[in-house]
C-alpha cells in the first residue's frame, strides 16, 4: 500500500517521542510552568510547525518579498558594474595611493567575514551549550554566515591588481620549476582559514537542512522543487538509524566547527597584527577581532530576524525572548570590544613608542577622528544600552541599535586600516584617502549580493529548522 | 538534473582535475610553443650548414658568446660563401636580390621568450653550455623547430644542478677548472632573469 | 494497535513502494545524456584548445650588411657634450641597438667631473619628443628642404643686393665652430650681425667686469679653492651659470671623507628660499633691497679705507642682518684670498660692488679666475632691446631665430611680435613649432644635439666635442649646415668642425703629433684641455665706484603696505622654459616646494597669515602693465615683503605636455639701465575667489621630531661622535651572502637636493609619467625620491634633504607578506621585485615603512611609438596592477657580473654604478659590495656619522645615511 501524502511528517520527520503529538490538540491544555517561558508561542503541534514552515515555500511570494528582492537586485547590479569597471580599468579607479594600499576593499572583506561569525557561533557553540532557543534562528543565521563569507571572499580577489591571476595564491604544481607560494604570508593563511570555515559551515548547514528538505520533498507540489529537494535530501527516510546517525554527525560537526569560529577571525586579524605598521602591529588583535566579529554577526542576525519575522509572519517562532537572548550576547561581546578599544589606547600611550603614541592621538584627533568616534560610539557605547531590559525587549529599539552596531563595526575596520596607514613612519609620505564612487559601488553591491542571496534562501529552504523546533515545543510545558 | 547526471559530472571533474594537477606537463599550458616549426621566407637548412658542412654555430650567430642575443646573421654574412657556392640556387638568389634591393630578410622567430625574461646567450655559451641543450639537435633539422618548451622550470632545473663558479677564501669567484671545496651554484635569484 | 507496529508497517511499506522507481523512470533520460554529452564535449574542447594555443607570429629582421664594431644587444658608449645649456657638461651617451637611451656624466670632463643635472638627464626624452618638427615648414605647411633652400636663397640674395640688415638671434653659444659658421654666413651681407639673447640673463656680471677689469666676461668661480663662500641671492647650486660644476666644487670642499676636519663655510643672503640657500650654514633672510644694503655695508667693513663708503650708514638694515654682516666681515678678513663673494643680481652696480669686495679680499686669481671665458662674444641685454627697436622701425631685412623663443620669453612679448611683423624675412631654426616659430615665414628645424656634430668651449681651454649618436630621426638638419647651405657651402658641418680644430686647436697643443691622433683621442675622451694660459692679473678699476655706490644707496625697499617686491627665479627642472614640453621635468617635484606641473606665487607664512591667504588660493599679481593669476604657495624661509614666481611656465605652444602649465611671469621682467631685472619689481597681489589643489609629492614639512634626516654641527663632529648604530637581536636567521652583499651609503653632507638622481633613475628604469591629477592623488611613480624637511623657526629655518631609494632590507617587511613570492630576498642582499609574478595585493606597499614601493594603478601611456624609443630594453615595462620599486639598478649589476665572469675576474669596486650614483654632481650616493671590507661603501659605513633610517625596526637596510654636518 502506498503512503498517502496527507500526513507525510509521520513518515519523514516525526521523532519517536514526538509521535504522541500527532493527536489533534485542542487549544486549551496544557498548563505552562511559572518558571519557564515557552520558546515557541501559539501552542503549536508538530503538524502546525511543519505546516507553518513549509507553507512559506509553496505559495507565490508576497509583495514585501518582491520589493525587497528588486531593491537588493538593483544594489547587486551596481556592484557588478563597479566590479567590471575596476577589473577593466585598474585599481586606479579607487581612491588608494602610494601610502594607503588598502581601504574600502579590505574593510568590506573583514566586515563581511565578521558578519559570517554569528551563524556558526549560534549553531555550533550554542548547540554544544545546549541553548534551546537557538533552534528558531540557527537555520537562517547559518545561511547568513554562508552568504556573508561569499561576499567577503569576493573582495580579496577584486582588490588584486591582476585579479585574473588570483589562482597564483593557491599552491599547485606548475611548470615554473615548481614555484610555491609564500607560507609566511598572512594573506595565504587567510585563504586557507576562510575556505575551511566556509566548507565546514556549508556542510553543517546542509546537514541540518536534510530532514527538513525531506519534509519539503514529500509535501511540495512543484515538479522542479521536488527534483531539487529529492537530490538534496539524499533519500532521507526518518528511520531511527538515520536519526541517530544524524544526531551523532551533527554533534561531531558542531565540535569541529567551534574552534573554527575562533580561528578564522584570529587569522584575519593576523593580516594586521603580524605587520609592522603602528596601529596594526598589536597582540590583542585576535581576541579583539573575534569578539568584534561575533558582536557584528549577532547584530546582523537581529536585523535580519526582525525583518524575517515580519516578512514571513513568524512572530510565534522568533519571539522577543529570542531577540533578548541575542541582545545579551551582543552586550557581552560589545563590552569586550569596548574594553579592547580602551586597552588599545592604554597600550599605545603606555608603550613609550613615539609612533604608537602618535597613532592613538592621530586616531582620536587626527583628520579621521570622525570615523574613530563613530566607531567608538556605535560599538562601545551603543552596546551598553542593552543593559536596559526595556530596550532589550523593544523590537524597534533592537532594530535600530543592531543597525547602528553594524555601522560601527564597519567603521572599526575602516579606522584600523586607513588611520594606521595614512600617517606612518616617514612624514614625507603621509597622505589622505578619499573613497571614489566605484568603491562605494562595491560596498553597496556586496550588500545587494547579500540580501538577494538571503531572500532567495528564504523562498527555497525551510527558514526555520522544523525538526529542531519540534524538539523544543514541549519546552516549558508541564507533564 | 538527476542524481545520475550529478554523479557523471562530478566524476568527470575529479578525473580531469586530478590529471591536470599531477600530469600538468602533458597538458600544454598557454603560450607553450614547443615544436613550433614555422615556414621561413628562405628554406635555409641547418642540416646542410651546421650538420653536413660542419659550420660552427658561432660563425653565423656571432653575437652568441658576447651578447644577450645570439644574433641572426646579416645577409652579407651569407654572401661570404654564397658569392662562390651555389650562386644560382633560387634560395640563394633570394638573398642576392634582398641585398640588391636593399630589403632586409624577415625571418620568423622560432624561439621567443616573453619580454619579462632576460636571457643572456653570452654567459651560457661562455660557461660552456651547448647550443643543443636548449635548441635541440638543430644541425639535423632542415627547418628549425622549437625543441624545448623553454619554460621557467627548465631554466631553474638546470641552474639548480649546474655548478659554475668556485670561490676563493674571500668569497670572490675564480673561474677555474679544478674543484675547490666551496662551490657556488648557478644563481637562482629571480632578478638574474627578471628585471 | 500500538505505535510501534504502525511505524513498522509503514517502514515495510516504504521499502517496497514503487515511488522511487516511478520517479527515476519519469526522470528525463534523454536530457541527462545530452547534458552529460555536452559536459564531456566541453572538457575535451578545452583540452584541445589548450594544446592548440599559439602566440602571434614574431618577425626577426637582421641587418643586410653587418656594421663594423657593433654587437646586437650590447650597449656602446660615446663621449659627448650636453647641449642642454651653455654650461656644456661632459656626457657619456649610452647607445643600445642604434638608439641613445641614457645620458650619463663623463668623469673625464674637467668641469662637470661626471656630474649631470636633472635637465641633462631629461634631454633623452627631448630627442624622442613627439612634438618635434618632422620636416621643414613654409608657414604652417610642411615642405622639402630643396624648396625651402631655393626660396630662402632667392630672398637672401635680394637682401644682399639691397644691402639690408640681417640678424641672427641665438642663445649664448659656447661652440667656437658654430659661432664661426654664423660669422661666415653673415659675412656675405653688408650688415649682418649675430646677437645672443638669454631670457634669464647674467649680463650684469659681464658688464661689471668690463667696468672693473676691462674684460666683458663671466669669470671662473672656483668653489673648490674657497674656505668661505658668501652668496647674495646667487643660486649657484641650482640654476646659476654652471650649477653642476659649482655643485661639484662645493661638495669637494665640504666633503668630510678621508678624515677631513675643516670644510667650506657657506653664508647666504637671500629673499626667497633657494636650493642654494637651503644648503647654507648660515642663511640670512633679507628683502632684495636689504640685500643691496647688506652688500654696501659689507663693502664698507671690508674696505674701511675707501672714504667713498665711510659715509654709508646701514640705517635700512634690520638688527640681526647688521650683526650678521659685521660678523661675516670679520670672517672674510681672516679668510683673504680663500673666500668668494657671488651675487645673483643682474644689476651691474651690485655686481661691480661684488667685484670690488672680491678684489679687496684678494680673491681674484685665487678663487676667481678672470680668464676671458664663458660668454665671450655674447651680446648684452641692451643689444637685444636695440634689435627689437630696429625691427620695429623696419630696418631689419631678415631675422633668423635659432634656439631661442623671444615671443614667449621676451619681457615685452607683444612689442617683439609687432616688431617681428615688420621684418620681411622671418626664419626660425627652432626644432619645434613654438611661439616664435609659429610666427615665422619658414621653419627649418635643427637636429637635436644628440643627432649632430658640435664643439663647446664653456671655459677657455676646455674643449668639448659633441658627436652624433643617432642619425636624424626626422627631416631635420643641423642649423650650422642650414646656414652653410644659405651661404653656398655644400660641405657637411663635420668637415668644417674638423677644419676648425685642425687650424685652431691642434696647433695649441703639443701632446699629439698628428691631427688624426689628436682628433681620435679627443673624440674618445669627449673633451680636451689645453694648458691653461697664465692667469692674467688685471687690476681693479675703481673709477666708476662712486657712481655705483651712489646709485645703490639711493635704492629703496617697498614702502606702501599692499605693495610687494616680486622676485623672479628659475626652477631646477624647467629653467627658462625651454624644456617645458618634457614631462619628466614637469613631473619632477621642485626641491623645496615639492610641487609638480605648476608654478605659483610664493609668499611668506607671516604675509599669508596677515592677508588671510591659504595654500592654493588663486591671487591676481599685477604691476599695472602685466597681470597674471597664480595660486599661492606659502613658503617657509621667504621674506615677508617678497612674492616669488618661477619663470619658464605658461608656455602656450610648447606641445602636448608643456602647453598651458602655470602662468608666464616674463612680462614682469624689467629693463633698467642696460640689463634685465628679475627683482626689485613692485607688484600688488589681490586674492580671487577660486582655489586650487597643488600636485604635491610631499605634503608634510616637518619630521615630527623623529630623527630621520640627521645633522650635527662641525664642532660636534670634530669632538667625535660614535656610530649610533647598534645591532638588535633578530628572530630570523641571518641570510647567507656567498658572493656579494650590495649596499649604498648616502652622504647627506654632500647631497644638496638637486634631484638629478631622480630623473636619472626615471630614464634608466622606464618609470612612467602619471600626470598632474595622479600626482595630486599621491600616485607619483618615482622610485627614488628626495625627502625635504623644514625644521626650526622662521628666522633660522633648517632644511634637510634625504634621498630615499628602496633600502633592500635584510629583514624585509615586504618579503614576508607577499602571498605569491613576488618579492623575495636574493643571495646578494636585494629585495627582488618580480613583476611577472606580482598579482598586486599591495600588502608589501602597506608594510614598507619607507614607502618606497610604487603601484601601477593604470596601464600608463606607452602608445607613442617615437617616445617609446627612449625605453631601456634591459628593464621590463611594468603592466597595470603590478608593484614596482628601486632595484639598485639590478640590470647593471647583472651585466657587470656577467662581464666579470666571462672574463674570469672578480667585480672591481666602483665598477657597478646605479643610475642615481653615476651622475650625482656631489657624489653623495656610494654603491658597492659590503662583503668587500676594502670597498668604498664599506669604508663610508664605518664613519661616525653613519646611521640607518628607522633603526629601531631592525629591518637591517642595506642603505644607510651619513649625517649632515653644518659649519
Backbone φ and ψ for C946, nearest 5 degrees, come out as: -75, 130
Helix axes A138-158 and A63-89, enclosed angle (nearest 10)? 20
* Residues forming a β-bridge with C686: C620
Backbone φ and ψ for C246, nearest 5 degrees, come out as: -65, -45
A430: in domain: yes
**Residues 6 or more apart whose Cβ sits within 8 Å of residue C610:** none
The residue of chain C with its CA nearest to that of A18 is C3
**Residues 6 or more apart whose Cβ sits within 8 Å of residue A122:** A134, A137, A138, A141, A142, A301
Three-state DSSP string of C260-325: CCCCCEEEEEECCCCHHHHHCCEEEECCHHHHHHHHHHHHHHHCCCCHHHHCCCCCCCCHHHHHHH
Pairing of strands C711-713, C964-966: parallel
Helix axes C29-52 and B3-22, enclosed angle (nearest 10)? 20
The cell for A159 is: 582588490
CB proximity C514 to B under 8 Å? no
C-alpha to C-alpha distance for B98 and B93, rounded to whole angstroms = 8
Residue C402 is predicted with a pLDDT of: 93
**Residues 6 or more apart whose Cβ sits within 8 Å of residue C341:** C229, C230, C231, C232, C298, C332, C354, C357, C358, C361, C363
The cell for A330 is: 551582543
C-alpha to C-alpha distance for C9 and C30, rounded to whole angstroms = 37
Least Cα distance to A199 among A141, A243, A146 occurs for A146
Determine, for residues C819 and A191 on separate chains, whether the beta-carbon distance falls below 8 Å.
Answer: yes
Q: Which residues in chain B have Cβ-Cβ distances shorter than 8 Å to C900?
A: 173
Residue C42 reports pLDDT greater than 70: no
Least Cα distance to C173 among C475, C480, C393 occurs for C480
Q: Which position has the higher pLDDT, C460 or B117?
A: B117
Domain that holds residue A379: 58-460
C-alpha to C-alpha distance for A212 and A210, rounded to whole angstroms = 5
Condensed to tens digits (0 to 9), the pLDDT of residues A241-290 reads 988 999 899 888 888 888 888 888 899 999 999 999 999 998 899 999 99
Dmax over Cα atoms in chain A, in whole Å? 85
Mean pLDDT for C12-20 is: 39
Distance from A174 to chain B by nearest Cα, in Å?
A: 7
Nearest to B24 among A175, A177, A230 (CB): A175
Determine, for residues C839 and A166 on separate chains, whether the beta-carbon distance falls below 8 Å.
Answer: yes
C-alpha to C-alpha distance for C599 and C568, rounded to whole angstroms = 11
Under 8 Å between Cβ of C564 and C640: no
Residue C91 is predicted with a pLDDT of: 94
Determine, for residues A98 and C845 on separate chains, whether the beta-carbon distance falls below 8 Å.
Answer: yes
* Residues forming a β-bridge with C99: C96
Coil, helix or strand for B56?
coil
Percent residues over pLDDT 70 in chain C: 92
Under 8 Å between Cβ of C174 and C86: yes
Condensed to tens digits (0 to 9), the pLDDT of residues C343-378 reads 999 999 999 999 999 999 999 888 988 876 555 568
Backbone φ and ψ for C805, nearest 5 degrees, come out as: -115, 180
CB proximity C882 to A under 8 Å? yes
Percent residues over pLDDT 90 in chain C: 61
CATH code, domain carrying A86: 1.20.1630.10
Q: Which residues in chain C have Cβ-Cβ distances shorter than 8 Å to B126?
A: 901-902
C-alpha to C-alpha distance for C863 and C119, rounded to whole angstroms = 24
C1-5, C258-262, C561-565: least confident range: C1-5
Task: Give contacts of C 720-779 with B, CB under 8 A.
Answer: 738-739
Note the Cα A283 to chain centre separation in Å: 25
Percentages (nearest 5) of helix, strand, coil residues in chain C:
35, 20, 50
Nearest to B167 among C65, C738, C900 (CB): C738
The cell for C379 is: 651680446
C-alpha to C-alpha distance for C851 and C647, rounded to whole angstroms = 32
Task: Give contacts of C 533-552 with B, CB under 8 A.
Answer: none
Distance from C81 to chain B by nearest Cα, in Å?
A: 28
A344: in domain: yes
Residue C127 is predicted with a pLDDT of: 93
Mean pLDDT for C889-897 is: 93
**Contacts of C among chains (3+ CB pairs under 8 A):** A, B
The cell for A456 is: 532567495
- Output the DSSP codes for A381-395: IGGGGGGSHHHHH-H
Condensed to tens digits (0 to 9), the pLDDT of residues C164-213 reads 899 999 998 888 899 989 999 999 998 999 999 999 998 899 899 888 88
**Contacts of A among chains (3+ CB pairs under 8 A):** B, C
In this structure, the dihedral spanned by the alpha carbons of residues C763, C767, C773 and C776, taken in order and rounded to 10 degrees, is: -90
A37: in domain: no
* Residues forming a β-bridge with C400: C168, C427
Separation in Å, CA A51 to CA A214, A469, C10: 14, 13, 21
Mutation target for A interface from B34, B156, B185: give the one with most A CBs within 10 A: B156
Mean pLDDT for B171-177 is: 52
The residue of chain B with its CA nearest to that of C25 is B2
C-alpha to C-alpha distance for C69 and C72, rounded to whole angstroms = 10
Mean pLDDT for A337-355 is: 91
Under 8 Å between Cβ of A32 and A478: yes
Dihedral of alpha carbons C31, C34, C36, C42, sign:
negative
Residue B129 reports pLDDT greater than 80: yes
Q: What is the DSSP letter of C168?
A: E
Range list of H helices, C630-728: 714-719
Mean pLDDT for C894-901 is: 90
Overall number of domains in chain A: 1
pLDDT, chain C, mean: 87
Three-state DSSP string of C737-765: CCCCCEEEEEECCCCCCCCHHHHHHHHHC
Three-state DSSP string of C505-531: HHHHCCCCCCHHHHHHHHHHHCEEECC
A311: in domain: yes
Residue C28 reports pLDDT greater than 70: no
A267: in domain: yes
Residue C838 reports pLDDT greater than 60: yes
C-alpha to C-alpha distance for A395 and A179, rounded to whole angstroms = 56
Residue C52 reports pLDDT greater than 50: no
Least Cα distance to C294 among C275, C266, C319, C273 occurs for C319
Residue A19 reports pLDDT greater than 70: no
Residue C19 reports pLDDT greater than 90: no
The cell for C627 is: 597681470
A432: in domain: yes
E strands along C164-263, which residues? 165-170, 191-196, 220-221, 228-232
Distance from C388 to chain A by nearest Cα, in Å?
A: 48
The residue of chain A with its CA nearest to that of B6 is A231
Condensed to tens digits (0 to 9), the pLDDT of residues C176-188 reads 899 989 999 999 9
Backbone φ and ψ for C737, nearest 5 degrees, come out as: -110, 90
Separation in Å, CA C278 to CA B14, C236, C332, C962: 70, 12, 21, 18
Q: Which position has the higher pLDDT, C49 or C160?
A: C160
Distance from A101 to chain C by nearest Cα, in Å?
A: 6
Backbone φ and ψ for C826, nearest 5 degrees, come out as: -90, 165
Under 8 Å between Cβ of C614 and C632: yes
C-alpha to C-alpha distance for C641 and C625, rounded to whole angstroms = 21
Separation in Å, CA C312 to CA C281, C293, C298, C307, C317: 28, 10, 11, 9, 12
> Binning pLDDT at 50, 70 and 90, where does residue B31 land?
low
Residue C435 reports pLDDT greater than 90: yes
Coil, helix or strand for C368?
strand
Residue B169 is predicted with a pLDDT of: 58
CB proximity A99 to C under 8 Å? yes
A29: in domain: no
CB proximity B20 to A under 8 Å? no
C-alpha to C-alpha distance for C910 and A419, rounded to whole angstroms = 43
Determine, for residues C880 and A191 on separate chains, whether the beta-carbon distance falls below 8 Å.
Answer: no
A10: in domain: no
Nearest to A175 among B3, B22, B153 (CB): B153
- Residue for grid cell 542576525: A301
C-alpha to C-alpha distance for A105 and A300, rounded to whole angstroms = 20
Q: Which residues in chain A have Cβ-Cβ distances shorter than 8 Å to B1?
A: 227, 231
Under 8 Å between Cβ of C718 and C806: no
Amino acid at each position: 500500500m502506498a503512503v498517502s501524502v496527507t500526513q507525510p511528517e509521520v513518515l519523514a520527520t516525526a521523532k519517536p517521542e514526538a509521535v504522541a503529538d500527532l493527536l489533534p490538540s485542542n487549544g486549551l491544555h496544557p498548563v505552562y510552568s511559572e518558571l519557564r517561558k515557552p520558546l515557541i508561542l501559539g501552542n503549536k503541534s508538530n503538524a502546525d510547525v511543519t505546516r507553518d514552515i513549509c507553507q512559506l515555500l509553496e505559495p507565490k511570494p508576497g509583495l514585501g518579498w518582491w520589493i525587497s528582492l528588486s531593491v537588493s537586485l538593483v544594489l547587486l547590479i551596481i556592484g557588478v558594474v563597479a566590479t567590471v569597471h575596476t577589473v577593466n580599468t585598474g585599481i586606479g579607479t579607487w581612491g588608494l595611493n602610494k601610502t594607503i594600499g588598502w581601504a574600502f576593499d579590505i574593510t568590506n572583506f573583514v566586515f563581511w567575514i565578521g558578519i559570517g561569525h554569528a551563524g556558526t557561533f549560534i549553531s555550533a557553540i550554542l548547540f554544544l551549550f545546549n541553548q534551546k532557543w537557538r533552534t528558531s534562528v540557527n537555520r537562517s543565521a547559518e545561511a547568513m554566515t554562508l552568504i556573508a563569507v561569499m561576499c567577503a571572499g569576493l573582495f580579496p580577489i577584486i582588490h588584486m591588481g591582476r585579479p585574473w591571476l588570483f589562482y597564483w595564491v593557491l599552491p599547485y604544481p606548475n611548470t615554473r620549476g615548481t614555484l610555491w607560494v609564500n607560507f609566511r604570508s598572512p594573506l595565504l593563511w587567510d585563504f586557507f582559514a576562510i575556505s575551511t570555515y566556509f566548507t565546514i559551515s556549508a556542510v553543517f548547514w546542509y546537514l541540518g537542512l536534510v530532514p527538513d528538505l525531506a519534509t519539503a520533498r514529500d509535501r511540495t507540489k512543484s515538479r522542479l522543487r521536488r527534483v531539487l529537494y529529492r537530490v538534496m535530501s539524499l533519500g532521507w527516510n526518518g528511520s531511527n538509524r538515520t536519526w541517530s546517525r544524524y544526531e551523532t554527525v551533527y554533534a561531531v560537526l558542531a565540535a569541529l566547527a567551534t574552534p573554527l569560529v575562533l580561528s578564522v577571525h584570529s587569522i584575519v586579524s593576523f593580516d594586521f597584527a603580524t605587520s609592522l605598521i603602528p596601529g596594526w602591529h598589536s597582540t590583542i588583535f585576535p581576541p579583539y577581532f573575534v569578539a568584534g566579529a561575533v558582536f557584528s554577526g549577532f547584530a546582523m542576525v537581529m536585523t535580519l530576524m526582525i525583518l524575517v519575522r515580519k516578512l514571513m509572519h513568524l512572530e510565534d517562532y522568533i519571539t522577543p525572548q529570542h531577540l533578548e537572548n541575542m541582545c545579551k550576547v551582543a552586550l557581552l561581546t560589545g563590552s569586550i570590544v569596548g574594553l579592547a578599544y580602551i586597552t588599545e589606547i592604554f597600550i599605545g600611550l603606555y608603550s613609550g613608542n613615539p609612533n604608537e603614541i602618535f597613532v592613538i592621538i592621530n586616531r582620536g584627533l587626527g583628520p579621521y577622528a570622525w570615523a574613530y568616534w563613530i566607531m567608538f560610539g556605535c560599538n562601545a557605547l551603543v552596546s551598553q544600552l542593552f543593559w536596559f531590559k526595556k530596550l532589550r525587549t523593544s523590537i524597534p529599539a533592537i532594530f535600530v541599535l543592531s543597525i547602528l552596531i553594524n555601522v560601527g563595526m564597519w567603521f572599526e575596520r575602516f579606522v584600523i586600516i586607513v588611520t594606521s596607514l595614512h600617517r606612518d613612519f616617514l612624514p614625507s609620505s603621509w597622505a589622505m584617502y578619499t573613497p571614489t564612487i566605484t568603491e562605494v559601488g562595491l560596498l553597496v553591491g556586496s550588500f545587494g549580493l547579500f540580501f538577494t542571496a538571503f531572500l532567495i534562501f528564504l523562498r527555497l529552504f525551510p527558514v526555520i529548522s522544523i525538526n529542531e523546533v519540534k524538539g523544543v515545543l514541549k519546552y516549558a510545558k508541564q507533564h | 538534473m538527476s542524481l545520475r547526471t550529478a554523479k557523471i559530472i562530478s566524476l568527470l571533474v575529479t578525473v580531469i582535475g586530478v590529471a591536470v594537477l599531477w600530469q600538468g606537463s602533458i597538458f600544454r599550458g598557454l603560450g607553450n610553443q614547443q615544436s613550433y616549426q614555422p615556414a621561413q621566407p628562405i628554406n635555409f637548412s641547418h642540416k646542410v650548414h651546421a650538420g653536413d658542412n660542419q659550420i660552427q654555430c658561432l660563425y653565423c650567430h656571432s653575437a652568441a658568446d658576447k651578447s644577450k642575443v645570439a644574433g641572426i646573421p646579416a645577409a652579407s654574412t651569407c654572401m661570404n660563401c654564397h658569392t662562390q657556392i651555389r650562386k644560382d640556387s633560387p634560395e640563394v638568389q633570394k638573398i642576392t636580390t634582398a641585398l640588391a634591393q636593399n630589403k632586409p630578410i624577415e625571418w620568423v622567430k622560432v624561439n621567443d621568450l616573453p619580454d619579462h625574461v632576460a636571457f643572456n646567450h653570452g654567459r651560457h655559451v661562455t660557461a660552456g653550455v651547448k647550443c643543443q641543450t636548449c635548441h635541440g639537435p638543430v644541425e639535423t633539422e632542415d627547418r628549425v623547430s622549437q625543441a624545448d618548451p623553454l619554460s621557467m622550470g627548465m631554466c631553474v632545473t638546470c641552474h639548480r644542478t649546474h655548478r659554475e663558479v668556485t670561490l676563493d677564501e674571500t668569497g670572490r669567484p675564480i673561474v677555474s677548472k679544478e674543484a675547490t671545496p666551496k662551490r657556488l651554484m648557478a644563481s637562482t635569484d629571480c632578478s638574474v632573469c627578471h628585471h | 494497535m500500538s505505535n510501534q507496529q504502525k511505524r513498522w508497517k509503514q517502514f515495510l511499506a516504504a521499502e517496497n513502494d514503487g515511488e522511487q522507481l516511478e520517479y527515476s523512470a519519469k526522470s528525463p533520460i534523454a536530457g541527462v545524456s545530452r547534458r552529460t554529452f555536452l559536459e564531456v564535449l566541453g572538457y575535451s574542447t578545452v583540452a584541445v584548445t589548450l594544446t592548440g594555443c599559439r602566440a602571434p607570429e614574431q618577425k626577426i629582421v637582421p641587418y643586410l650588411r653587418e656594421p663594423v664594431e657593433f654587437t646586437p644587444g650590447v650597449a656602446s658608449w660615446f663621449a659627448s657634450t650636453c647641449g642642454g645649456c651653455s654650461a656644456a657638461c661632459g656626457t657619456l651617451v649610452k647607445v643600445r641597438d642604434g638608439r641613445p637611451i641614457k645620458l650619463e656624466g663623463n668623469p673625464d670632463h674637467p668641469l662637470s667631473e661626471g656630474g649631470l643635472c636633472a635637465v641633462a638627464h631629461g634631454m633623452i626624452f627631448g630627442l624622442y619628443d613627439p612634438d618635434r618638427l618632422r620636416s621643414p615648414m613654409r608657414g604652417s605647411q610642411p615642405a622639402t628642404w630643396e624648396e625651402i633652400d631655393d626660396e630662402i636663397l632667392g630672398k637672401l640674395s635680394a637682401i644682399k643686393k639691397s644691402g639690408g640688415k640681417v640678424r641672427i638671434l641665438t642663445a649664448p653659444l659656447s661652440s667656437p665652430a658654430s659661432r664661426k659658421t654664423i660669422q661666415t654666413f653673415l659675412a656675405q651681407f653688408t650688415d649682418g650681425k649675430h646677437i645672443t639673447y638669454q631670457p634669464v640673463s647674467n649680463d650684469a656680471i659681464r658688464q661689471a667686469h668690463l667696468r672693473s677689469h676691462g674684460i666683458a666676461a663671466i669669470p671662473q668661480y672656483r668653489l673648490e679653492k674657497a674656505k668661505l663662500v658668501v652668496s647674495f641671492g646667487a643660486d649657484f647650486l641650482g640654476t646659476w651659470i654652471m650649477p653642476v660644476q659649482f655643485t661639484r666644487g662645493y661638495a669637494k670642499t665640504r666633503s668630510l671623507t678621508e678624515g677631513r676636519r675643516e670644510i667650506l663655510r657657506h653664508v647666504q643672503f637671500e629673499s626667497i628660499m633657494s636650493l642654494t640657500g637651503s644648503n647654507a650654514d648660515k642663511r640670512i633672510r633679507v628683502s632684495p633691497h636689504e640685500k643691496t644694503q647688506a652688500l654696501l655695508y659689507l663693502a664698507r667693513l671690508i674696505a674701511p679705507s675707501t672714504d667713498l663708503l665711510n659715509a654709508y650708514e646701514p640705517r635700512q638694515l634690520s638688527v640681526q642682518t647688521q650683526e650678521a654682516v659685521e660678523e661675516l666681515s670679520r670672517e672674510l678678513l681672516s679668510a683673504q684670498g680663500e673666500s668668494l663673494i657671488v651675487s645673483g643680481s643682474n644689476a651691474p652696480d651690485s655686481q661691480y660692488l661684488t667685484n670690488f669686495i672680491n678684489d679687496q679680499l684678494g680673491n681674484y686669481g685665487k678663487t676667481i679666475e678672470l680668464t676671458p671665458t664663458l660668454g665671450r662674444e655674447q651680446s648684452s641685454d641692451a643689444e637685444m632691446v636695440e634689435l627689437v627697436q630696429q625691427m620695429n622701425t623696419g630696418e631689419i631685412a631678415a631675422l633668423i631665430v635659432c634656439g631661442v623663443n623671444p615671443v614667449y620669453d621676451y619681457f615685452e612679448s607683444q612689442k617683439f611680435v609687432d616688431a617681428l611683423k615688420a621684418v620681411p624675412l622671418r626664419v626660425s631654426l627652432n626644432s619645434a613649432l613654438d611661439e616664435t616659430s609659429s610666427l615665422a615665414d619658414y621653419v627649418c628645424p635643427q637636429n637635436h644635439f644628440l643627432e649632430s656634430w658640435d664643439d663647446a668651449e664653456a671655459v677657455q681651454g676646455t674643449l668639448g666635442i659633441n658627436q652624433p649618436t643617432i642619425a636624424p630621426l626626422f627631416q631635420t638638419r643641423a642649423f650650422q649646415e642650414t646656414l652653410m647651405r644659405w651661404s653656398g657651402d655644400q660641405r657637411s658641418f663635420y668637415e668644417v668642425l674638423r677644419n676648425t680644430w685642425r687650424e685652431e686647436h691642434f696647433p695649441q697643443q703639443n701632446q699629439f703629433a698628428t691631427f688624426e691622433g689628436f682628433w681620435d683621442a679627443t673624440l674618445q675622451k669627449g673633451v680636451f684641455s689645453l694648458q691653461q694660459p697664465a692667469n692674467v692679473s688685471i687690476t681693479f678699476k675703481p673709477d666708476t665706484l662712486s657712481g655705483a655706490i651712489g646709485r645703490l644707496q639711493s635704492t629703496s625697499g617697498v614702502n606702501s603696505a599692499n605693495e610687494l617686491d616680486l622676485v623672479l627665479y628659475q626652477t631646477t627642472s624647467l629653467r627658462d622654459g625651454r624644456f617645458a614640453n618634457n614631462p619628466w621635468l614637469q613631473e619632477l617635484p621642485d626641491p623645496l616646494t615639492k610641487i609638480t606641473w605648476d608654478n605659483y606665487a610664493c609668499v611668506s607664512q607671516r604675509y599669508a597669515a596677515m592677508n588671510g591667504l591659504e595654500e592654493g588660493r588663486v591671487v591676481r599679481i599685477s604691476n599695472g602693465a602685466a597681470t597674471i593669476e597664480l595660486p599661492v604657495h606659502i613658503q617657509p624661509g621667504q621674506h615677508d615683503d617678497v612674492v616669488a614666481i618661477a619663470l619658464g611656465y605658461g608656455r602656450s605652444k610648447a606641445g602636448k605636455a608643456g602647453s598651458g602649465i602655470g602662468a608666464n611671469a616674463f612680462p614682469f621682467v624689467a629693463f633698467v639701465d642696460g640689463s634685465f631685472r628679475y627683482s626689485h619689481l613692485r607688484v600688488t597681489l589681490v586674492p580671487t575667489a577660486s582655489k586650487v589643489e597643488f600636485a604635491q609629492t610631499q605634503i608634510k614639512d616637518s619630521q615630527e621630531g623623529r630623527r630621520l634626516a640627521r645633522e650635527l654641527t662641525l664642532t660636534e663632529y670634530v669632538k667625535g661622535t660614535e656610530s649610533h648604530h647598534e645591532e638588535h637581536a633578530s628572530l630570523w636567521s641571518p641570510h647567507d651572502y656567498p658572493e656579494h652583499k650590495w649596499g649604498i651609503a648616502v652622504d647627506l653632507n654632500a647631497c644638496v637636493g638637486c634631484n638629478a638622481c631622480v630623473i636619472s633613475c626615471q630614464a634608466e628604469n622606464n618609470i612612467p609619467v602619471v600626470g598632474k591629477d595622479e600626482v595630486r592623488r599621491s600616485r607619483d611613480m618615482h622610485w627614488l625620491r628626495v625627502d625635504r624637511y623644514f625644521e626650526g623657526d622662521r628666522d633660522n629655518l633648517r632644511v634637510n634633504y634625504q634621498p630615499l631609494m628602496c633600502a633592500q632590507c635584510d629583514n624585509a617587511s615586504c618579503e614576508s607578506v607577499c602571498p605569491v613570492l613576488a618579492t623575495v630576498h636574493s643571495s646578494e642582499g636585494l629585495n627582488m621585485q618580480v613583476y611577472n609574478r606580482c598579482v598586486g595585493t599591495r600588502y608589501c606597499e602597506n608594510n614598507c615603512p619607507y614607502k618606497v614601493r610604487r603601484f601601477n594603478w593604470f596601464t600608463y601611456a606607452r602608445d607613442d611609438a617615437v617616445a617609446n624609443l627612449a625605453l631601456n630594453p634591459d628593464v621590463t615595462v611594468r603592466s597595470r596592477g603590478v608593484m614596482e620599486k628601486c632595484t639598485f639598478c639590478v640590470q647593471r649589476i647583472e651585466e657587470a657580473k656577467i662581464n666579470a665572469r666571462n672574463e674570469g675576474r672578480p667585480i672591481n669596486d666602483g665598477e657597478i654604478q646605479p643610475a642615481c650614483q653615476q651622475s650625482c654632481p656631489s657624489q653623495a650616493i656610494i654603491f658597492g659590495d659590503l662583503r668587500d671590507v676594502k670597498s668604498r661603501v664599506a669604508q663610508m659605513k664605518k664613519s661616525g656619522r653613519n646611521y640607518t633610517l628607522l633603526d629601531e625596526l631592525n629591518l637591517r637596510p642595506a642603505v644607510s645615511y651619513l649625517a649632515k654636518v653644518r659649519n
